[in-house]
Amino acid sequence: MTAAGTGSRLGRPVPKALVELGGEPLLVHAVRSMVAGVRAAGDEPVLVVTAPAAAADRVRDLVADAADGCPVAVVAGGVSRQASVAAALASLAEHGPDARLVLVHDAARPTVPPEVVLRVLDALRAGRGAVVPAVPVADTVKRVGAGEDGAEPVRETVPRAELRAVQTPQGFDLALLRRAHAAAAAHAHDEQLAASDDAGLVERLGGEVWCVPGDARCAKITTERDLAVAELLLEGR
């Protein structure tokens, strides 16, 4: 689970994963949701959480309480999301040597429903090597060019029926994900070149990525508005 982001757009003095939702950090909600989803699928998870080095002890305590007895490791995150996941994969070799499947989830998506986790795992068990939950894009999307004075010229309208907004947890055959990270390791420490998600690394490797239905409750928290919506979802739950 990635929890090493600073969350600068939220404007809080703590890392995003430690921002509270309903009185508890986002990370705690995310861990509970993932543990519940994996257990609903009949498996027992091993958790590896990436964290800012300065907050590692705090994250370790929070995850230990939220993981409900699951094995847990906390590792320092890198300068990019890609570097952080690579560090987690290296740690997993020590804590989960028998693992065949891996789920990569963002702590910034704290309210993932168990059924989304189940859909990803079911597709992996059916033989898909890389699986992402995704939802149709509701807005019309325009491709634009370089502009000036705050205005950008529209180059084309992208067919909306072909577009999906990708969420997490993303699921992978562990061996495939390790190969994808190894092939792109030279870019991991450059934020401009690093992949924004792990499925993108599999695509760079030439692998096939499959979509399963996501859920609006998997929305990522980036702004104060997102946090307010998540509060409403939590109350509804």
CATH number of the domain bearing residue 31? 3.90.550.10
- Residue 67 maps to a domain: yes
- Residue 190 maps to a domain: yes
In the numeric block, which tokens belong to residue 58? 């705090």
Residue 188's SS3 state is coil
- Residue 97 maps to a domain: yes
Lowest-pLDDT range of 74-78, 215-219, 230-234: 230-234
- Residue 50 maps to a domain: yes
The C-alpha atoms of residue 169 and residue 185 are separated, in whole angstroms, by: 22
pLDDT in tens, 111-139: 999 999 999 999 999 999 999 999 999 99
Range of the domain at 156: 8-232
9 pLDDT above the threshold of 80: no
Task: Report yes or no: 27 and 105 within 8 Å, Cβ to Cβ.
Answer: no
pLDDT in tens, 79-98: 999 999 999 999 987 765 57
What is this structure's pTM?
Answer: 0.93
Q: What is the pLDDT of residue 95?
A: 62
Q: What is the pLDDT of residue 159?
A: 93
Q: What is the pLDDT of residue 5?
A: 80
In the numeric block, which tokens belong to residue 91? 């740690």
Mean pLDDT of 190-213: 94
170 pLDDT above the threshold of 80: yes
- Residue 237 maps to a domain: no
Grade residue 155 by pLDDT with cuts at 50, 70 and 90: very high
Grade residue 151 by pLDDT with cuts at 50, 70 and 90: very high
- Residue 192 maps to a domain: yes
Q: What is the pLDDT of residue 192?
A: 87
Q: What is the mean pLDDT of the chain?
A: 92
How many domains does one find in the chain? 1
The number of residues in the chain equals: 237
Q: What is the pLDDT of residue 96?
A: 55
Residue 52's SS3 state is coil
The C-alpha atoms of residue 132 and residue 211 are separated, in whole angstroms, by: 5
For residue 15, whether the previous peptide bond is cis, meaning omega lies within 30 degrees of 0, is: no
- Residue 13 maps to a domain: yes
